[in-house]
Structure 1
């Protein structure tokens, strides 16, 4: 009988260890999923923020020292410059004449408190004379993100027009490789 009790105790210990391992694995998977959803939502907020002219909401998607590159147009660094882009005459002219910044769902890779994401962005404009919308720009986007106390923020975003040159394709090439924290914008 003593052997049965010892055997039952050992069996229970193994089962408890397996359960702990299973719960830890599920917890890690859930954290990754939550991070991917949070980053996807952050990316999804960009279009409505800039198209509504909400400069502060758009700028706050970035870290305080975040960078937004849109060659050959400009590079904006920090909340003030990014908000200034949204409030600027060029952007205001776009949205007052009918413009939509449409971003596709991103491919997201997370490693701890850093992440990368890749997606397409379309700049769709209204042509009142022809009573139609047209795609003014299609671009490749690469995002470097980091977890901050307030949640995920953009550390660096590169937007390159898909004009047949190698640079936009190179942005997407990184998405086919494993991601490890510490990678830097090209």
Structure 2
């Protein structure tokens, strides 16, 4: 590989990592604004979002969750979904990312309180030149060994078994 090819390869990896980082960072503002269209557009058409005992199927599942009465009540009361910086591993047109997240809820007496702290593992794919989430698996950081497994798999750049 020539020096020019090496530089182009490195530049493409950096651009991919940045695009994925921006994609993940846009989740919180989208759901906190109650914008179901924006949030759903982050997923592949047949992508999934697995949170504890709830599996959202496809963009429609994510759209329905954000548009639900329960979520819209959170937005109206004041909430903040914050995804921390992600560790991103790109392999061609596929990628894995891992991060932790907090959901803060506004509390009349103390300002904001942490409602959830979660481990998040993402599998992504480049579709028509755009990165999309194919699978997001989230588990509470409450001592659950599976949450630790998600973090370790993501740090290693590995997919969740059965979801490749």
Under TM normalisation by the shorter chain, which class is it? Answer: over 0.9
**Separation (CA, whole Å) in 2 of partners of 1:178 and 1:61:** 20
Q: Which residue of 1 aligns with 2:77?
A: 97
Measure, in 2, the Cα distance between the counterparts of 1:26 and 1:183.
33
How is 1:137-152 mapped onto 2 (pairs within 5 angstroms)?
137-152=116-131
- Which runs of 5 or more residues in structure 1 are unaligned? 1-19
Structure 2 partner of 1:84: 64
Count, aligned residues = 164
Residue 5 of structure 1 is matched in structure 2 by none
1:158 aligns with 2:147: no
CA RMSD of aligned residues (A): 1.8
**Relative to total residues, which structure has the larger helix share, 1 or 2?**
1
Give the superposition deviation at 1:135: 0.2
Give the gaps of 5 or more residues in structure 2. Answer: none
The normalised TM-score by structure 2 is 0.94
Residue 163 of structure 2 aligns to a residue whose secondary structure is coil
Give distance in 1, aligned partners of 2:149 and 2:130.
28
Q: Which runs of 4+ in 1 moved over 2 A?
A: 175-179, 181-186
Q: After superposition, what is the alpha-carbon deviation per residue over 1:91-150, rounded to whole angstroms, capped at 9, x for unaligned?
A: 11111111000001100000000000000110000011x141000000000000000015
